[in-house]
Amino acid sequence: MTTPTDTTIAIATREGTDLALADAAATYTSTTTGRTAVTVVDGMGHDPDIVRLSPMLAETAARVGAVRGGLAGLLSAGLLLHDPGPDAVAVLAVTHVGGGAEIVWVGDSRAYHWENGTLTLLTTDHNLAAYLSSAAREAGDVPVAALADYVGISLGIAVPATVPYVSVPAGGLLILTSDGVHDQVASDVVEALVRKHEADPQALAEALVAAAEPDADGYRDDATAVVVLLPGKPG
């Protein structure tokens, strides 16, 4: 769907091959602050609790985030999770009134920025694979892809000190994805799809989730993509 706000937002999601959909996305524009929040939540597993909770987590993050900022939105969503119980990862973007946006995240949901023909990854995955991949750049090649499921930070355990923040400037596209997109679509394919569909956010979101391929065992994860057309700097 495309959300009719001052900021163009396109959302696409595709259920995977394993039980019910546990991904969710939401957007909300505050009439008080004039800010728009968009989020992607990826529930861990597919048990009924997380399938039911994921849309609530996304809605909470977006509604609180648009009013009180990204950190408050993400941590408020985390309060809906109990211990022990279901958990999730998420990425949340909140626009600035003067242009651009702030990004906060936990886990391995991602945010990218596309501008002037360049796709930039804004986030770092909070999992063991990302940590060891960073170490491997100095130590030599290490087979770490299988460790991507070991998430170090999630909504259920996030605190202010463990939630990173990045700022993205006005203009271009902001792209949020669950790992069912970026883990199952090669990075060069993601960039090619962005280049092809940059003028049509909805077509781009749909193309990203459609491009996810099953692995060798036939498994394909839930895939969700949100594309935000960020307004340029006020002239």
55-105 per-position pLDDT tens digit: 999 999 999 999 999 999 999 999 999 777 899 999 999 999 889 999 999
Helix count and strand count (H, E) for the chain: 6, 11
Q: Is residue 67 part of a domain?
A: yes
Stretch 26-52: mean pLDDT: 95
Q: Is residue 235 part of a domain?
A: no
Range of the domain at 57: 2-229
- The answer to whether residue 41 scores a pLDDT higher than 90 is yes
Query: What CATH number corresponds to the domain at position 132?
Result: 3.60.40.10
Domain count, the chain: 1
Output the CA torsion sign for 128, 133, 138, 143. positive
